[in-house]
Amino acid sequence: ALFCLLKFLLFMLDMLPRLSLYFKNPCAFRHFILSLLPPQMPALVCSEAFSTFLHKHCPVVAERFSPTPWCWGGRLQTLVCALIKSRPPVAYRNELIRTVDGGQISLDWVDNQASHGYPESSTRPTVLILPGLTGNSQQPYVLHAINQATRHGYRCVVFNNRGLGGEELLTPVTYCAANTSDLERVVTHVKGLYPHAPVLGAGVSLGGMVLLNYLARKRSESGMVAGITISVPWDAQKSSDSMEEPLNWLLFNKYLTSGLCRAVTRHRKILEKVVDVDYVLKARTIREFDERFTSLLFGYKSCTDYYRDASPDKKLPRTAVPILCLNAADDPFSPQTAFPVNIVQNLPNVALLLTAHGGHIAFLQGLFPRGESYMERLFGQFVQAVFEYPKDIEKACSIKEEQTGE
127-169 confidence digits (pLDDT tens): 999 999 999 999 999 999 999 999 999 999 999 999 998 899 9
Residue 344: Cβ within 10 Å count:
20
Please state whether 360 falls in left (phi above 0), alpha (psi between -120 and 50) or beta.
beta
Annotated catalytic residue, options 331, 334, 357, 373: 331
| C-alpha span between 286 and 253 (Å, rounded) | 6
Confidence of residue 21 (pLDDT cuts 50, 70, 90): very low
Annotated catalytic residue, options 106, 357, 360, 373: 360
Residue 27 has pLDDT above 60, yes or no: no
The pTM assigned to this predicted structure is 0.90
Q: What is the pLDDT of residue 180?
A: 98
**Is 290 assigned a catalytic role?**
no
Mean pLDDT of the chain: 91
The CA-atom distances, in angstroms, between 335 and each of 36, 85, 232, 234 are 19, 24, 10, 9
Segment of 3-7, 161-165, 260-264 carrying the highest mean pLDDT: 260-264
127 within 8 A of 156, measured Cβ to Cβ = yes
The highest-level CATH class for domain 74-235+321-397 is alpha beta
Annotated catalytic residue, options 47, 205, 240, 311: 205
Closest CA to 354 of 131, 41, 77, 51: 41
Please state whether 398 falls in left (phi above 0), alpha (psi between -120 and 50) or beta.
left
The number of residues making up the chain comes to 406
**Is 205 assigned a catalytic role?**
yes
Closest CA to 159 of 130, 124, 119, 190: 130
Residue 11 has pLDDT above 90, yes or no: no
Interstrand relation of 155-160 and 126-130 (parallel, antiparallel or unpaired): parallel
278-328 confidence digits (pLDDT tens): 999 999 999 999 999 999 999 999 999 999 999 999 999 999 999 999 999
Q: Helix or strand or coil: residue 355?
A: strand
**Is 302 assigned a catalytic role?**
no
- Residue range(s) of every CATH 3.40.50.1820 domain in the chain: 74-235+321-397
